[in-house]
A and B are shown apart, each in its own frame.
Chain A
Amino acid sequence: MARSGGIELRGLEKTYASPAGPVHAVRGMDVEVHEGETVALLGPNGAGKSTTVDILLGLQRPDAGTVAVFGGPPERAVGGGRVGAMLQDGGVLRDLAVGELVAMMAALFPRPLEVDEALRLAQLSGLSDRRTERLSGGERQRLRFAVALVSDPDLLVLDEPTVGMDVESRRAFWSTIRELSGRGKTFLFATHYLEEADAYADRVVLMAQGRVVADGPPTEIKAIVGSRTIRATLPSVPLEELERLPGVTHAERRGESVALACSDSDVALRELLARHPEARDIEVRGAGLEDAFVQLTADQQVPT
C-alpha cells in the first residue's frame, strides 16, 4: 500500500512497438519518493527516465505495475492541482506575453500563486510583457518552470529541466528549487548530469536500460559512476600486470595505448609511474555516465 504522501512505483513495465521491433523502455521499475524529498532520476539517454515520468504523471499507462501519487492514481493528484511538471522537449504557446501565459495556466488551478510570484521564482520578473516567441532557449525553459510552479503544487516533476539554460540560469534555478524544497515540496527530477544529481538531490535513483541499478544518497552513487580512467602510451606491458595495480579495476589495450578503469585513480597513477616510468601521454578523466553504465550493466556488479 502506498502511504498518503509521496510517490510509489511498483513493478512498472512499458514496451513500445517500433519499426525495429519492440522497445522495452521500462522493465521492472520500483521507486519510492517520500513527501518533502528531492530525488534525482539519473541515467543516460534511453534509460527510460522520460517514460517513467510520463507514467507517474498519468500521461501513459504502464503495461504492468502500479503507480500511486499521494496515495491515489496520478489522475486524482493531477485533477486536484497537486502536481506541476516540466516535460521534456516541450515548448510554449505563442502569441501571448510571458505574464499572460502564466496567468492563463494559473486560471486552471484551484489555489495558484500570484503570477508575479511565479515569475519571480523563475527569474522572469523583468520579462512579463515579452512575447513568448521572442524568448531565448534558456528564458523559454524558465517560463516552462514558471508554468509548472504557478499552481503551487505539492509535487514538482522536472524532466531534464536545465537543458538549454546557461550557467547563471542553472544556478538560479537550483536555488529556487532549494527555496521551494524548504517549504516542504516534493521534487523528482530526471537528469543525465551526475553533477546536478550529486549537488541537489537528497537521494539518487540510478537507471539504466529501463531498470533501477542503484538507489541511495548522492555520495554512494557518485562512488559508483564517478570512477576515472587513466590513459597512457605504454607499448610493452602485459594487461594482466596492469590489472594487478592497486586502484585499477580493469585494463584494455588499443594499439600502443592502454586504458585503465580505476576505483581510485590517485593511487593507481602513483603506482603506475613508480613501476612503469616509461609511460607517457598520460591522461586522467572522469569515465562519464555512459561508460559507467556500460560497465555497471555489463559486469552485473549492481549494488542494491
Chain B
Amino acid sequence: MSNPLAYARFELLRTFRNRRLYIFSLGFPLVLYYAIAAPNRNVHSLGGTGISAPLYFMVGLAAFGAMNAVLGSGGRIAAERAVGWNRQLRLTPLSTRTYFRVKVATAYMMGILTIALLYVAGATLGVHLQAGNWVAMTGLMLVGLAPFAALGILLGHLLTSDSIGPAIGGTTAVFALLGGTWFPITSGAMQKIAEALPSYWLVQASHVGLGGQGWGTTGWIVVAAWTVGAALLARHAYARDTQRV
C-alpha cells in the first residue's frame, strides 16, 4: 500500500533542512522582537494600557511571523514547479487531497515553530501569562492562519520562482499594514477595511494574550470566507498547473 505518512515525513524533513528558512522565516521575527522589545523590557504599561512592552510585541510578532512562515509554503511550491516536480507528482497516485494536506501540515509546522520561538523569546524578557491565556491565544491564532495556508498554496501554483519572493513579501506587507499588525487600527474607513482582512483577525487572536476578546461573529465569518475562497482558488490553480513552467 502507498504510505502518505512516509511521504509527509520526507516533505517535512526537506523543509527543515533548508537553511534560508531558519534565517528568514524563523530568524527575522526573532531578531525584530529583540530589537524592539529588549530596549523596552522595563516598560510595564505601554501607553498606560497596563500591557508590558515585551508581551505586546511578542504577540504582535508571533502573529506576523506565523503569517509569514505559513505563506512561505508558496515559495517552496514555486521552487518545486521550477524543476518540474509538480508534473512528476501528477504521474503518481498522490491525490489532490493528500497533496493539500501535506502542504498545509508543513506550512502549519512552520507557523507553530515561529509562534513557539516568539513565546520562548518573550519568556526570556519576563513575559508571564496564565496557562489558559497561552492556550486560548495559540488556539485562535492557529485557526486564523488557515486562510494564509490556502493563500500560500494558491500563490505557489500561480507564480514562478522568480516572482514569488516579491509577491509574498508584498502580500505580507499589505496584510500586516492594513490588518493592524504594526499600528493599532481603531476607527473609520481603515477599520472597515481591516475587518475584512484575515490578518486583522489574526492580530485580534494574538491579542487574546493581552486580554482581548478574540473574535465575534464577523471574525469567524471573515476568516472562514477567506479560507474557503483561497482554498477553492488554490484547488483550481493546482488542477490547471500541469504545463511545463
Contact = CB atoms under 8 A, between A and B. Distances in A.
Interface of A: 54, 57-60, 78-81, 83-85, 87-96, 100-101, 103-105, 107-110, 147, 151
Contact of B6 (A54, A84, A103, A151): A103
Contact of B80 (A78, A80, A93, A103): A93
Contacts of B90: 57-59, 78
A92 B93 CA distance: 19
B7 A147 contact: no
A199 to B, nearest CB: 27
Interface residues of B, number: 30
B244 interface: yes
B80 A81 contact: no
Interface in B1-60: 1-4, 6-7, 10-11, 13-15, 17-18
A103 B10 contact: yes
Contacts of B7: 104, 107-108
Interface string B125-148: 000000000000000000000000
B86 to A, nearest CB: 10
Contacts of A92: 83, 85
Nearest to A92: B83
Contacts, number: 90
A304 to B, nearest CB: 31
B92 interface: yes
A59 B93 contact: no
Contact of A85 (B1, B2, B17, B91): B91
Interface in B56-94: 79-80, 82-85, 87-94
Contacts of B93: 78-81, 108-110
B243 interface: yes
Given A79-B93, A89-B84, A90-B84, A110 B1 contact: yes
A107 B2 contact: yes
B160 interface: no
19 contacts: A59-B243, A78-B90, A84-B91, A90-B84, A90-B88, A91-B83, A91-B84, A93-B14, A93-B83, A94-B14, A94-B79, A95-B14, A107-B4, A107-B10, A108-B2, A108-B89, A109-B92, A110-B93, A147-B88
Contacts of A104: 6-7, 10-11
A116 B88 CA distance: 21
Contacts of B18: 95
A104 B82 CA distance: 19
